[in-house]
Structures are given as C-alpha cells and as structure tokens.
Amino acid sequence: MKRIILMVVTNLFFVIVCWPKLCRMAAHPERYTKEERWKHLQFWVERACKGGRIVLEAHGQEKLPEEPFILYPNHQGMFDVLAIAGTCDHFLGVVNKKEVRNFLLLKQVFQITGSLSMDREDIRQSLQVINQVAERVKGGDNFLIFAEGTRSRRGNQMLEMKGGSFKSAYKAKCPVVPTALINSFVPFDSHTIKPVTVKVIYLDPIPYEEYKGMKSLELAAEVKKRIENAIAEFS
C-alpha cells in the first residue's frame, strides 16, 4: 500500500489528467485496437514504475512465439500482471481470481485486455473459463494464467502448479511459455518503498507437439522446474 501511495503522489498530475482516458478505454475497449490498448497500458506501467522506484529487467522476449500462446508465470504478488504487461509486447488477456478483479489499476487492466475472472469455488464456471480461454487463443489472442492458483507469499519460492490450469493449452493446442518472476512480490506485497528491480524471464516455449503426450500434472511439474531453474540462475 505504501508504494501505491508513492506512485500516486509522484504521478499526481499525470493521474488527474490521464485517469479519465484509462477509465474510458476500460469501459469501452471495443472502440480501440488491441495495439492502442496495450501501448496505453504499457505507458501507465512505465509511469507507475518510475514513480514507485521499480526497475523492470526483462530477458528472453525474443523467445515469445508469433503464433498465439499461453504464458505461465509463477505467482508472487499483485504486481505480477503489471510486470509482465510492462515487458511483453504481445497483447495478453489474463485469467484472474474474482477476488482481485476490483483492485485499483488491475481492474482497468483486466477490462482493457478483456480478461476473464474465475470463481475457484464454482467448478462449472471454472470450466467455462477454461473453454473460453481455449477458444480465444484459437481465435488469435494470447493469455496469461497463474497455474499456482494464488500468490505463493513465500518470496521467490513457488507453490505447486495445478494441472487443471493447463487444460486451456491442451484444448487450444498452443505453445506454453514458462515465465519466471523474481522479486515481483516486493512492490505491492511488502511494506518497503526502497528501490527494487523486478526481473521477468521468458523461457523457451513448449510446443504442443512436445507436451501433447504428457499428462497435465507432468506438464505442470515441467513448467515449475524450468521456472525454478531460471529463478536460481537469475537471482
């Protein structure tokens, strides 16, 4: 919360002037192209990082496929989505928990990107979201899914990834992109406002041909292993 206040205070004039446009874009995303929405979102992330003493350090963007894909990062904190939005030039929808869909700025991010909220207590609704993601990926969209299901709250340590989170990828037959986040828990999930470098490492995609014979739990374990190795290497 302290860093969010810092972001607002240091960008007060910018927020006053530009907040209405962000809200209009969130309310009527159909009036703007995906490229316009994504660039505007990245502009906001850039200003938020500058005001919040956050440096984004990215590696491996050149590995992102040209064909539609699903990004599977580890889930450290509320800043994760902004860290990825600020370093990925591909338009991304996000599968989010219904509990965070009204979080300030994230709410606008979700609306601008046409993201989908999942109710983990409602199995039928969750299956609908899985199918919706698969159909949108088939239609050309990229997506971001946190397969751990919730923030780890353990710093740079991971929780187990859930096999069910990969069902959309199987249905869409698309590349899976493991992505490692380092120190992304610091900006919004700690009490410090000291400068911090958040690292985003995009790893080699796993094509459908490579994982189609694997069980979803095996794929989840493989993605987790690759992310943990990257965290160890880049920390």
* Residues 6+ away with beta carbon under 8 Å from 128: none
Judge whether residue 209 has pLDDT over 90.
Answer: yes
CA distance 231 to 181: 7
Judge whether residue 64 has pLDDT over 80.
Answer: yes
Q: List pLDDT tens digits, range 101-156.
A: 777 778 898 999 999 998 878 889 999 999 999 999 999 999 999 999 888 888 89
Crossing angle for the helix pair 2-10 and 34-51, to the nearest 10 degrees: 100
The structural domains of the chain, ordered by start, are 2-234 (3.40.1130.10)
Q: CA 67, 71, 75: angle at the middle one, nearest 5? A: 175
Q: Are 147 and 166 in contact (CB under 8 A)?
A: yes
- Of the listed ranges 21-25, 150-154, 178-182, the least confidently predicted one is 150-154
Judge whether residue 45 has pLDDT over 90.
Answer: yes
* Residues 6+ away with beta carbon under 8 Å from 108: 22, 23, 25, 26
Which pLDDT score is estimated for 79?
A: 94
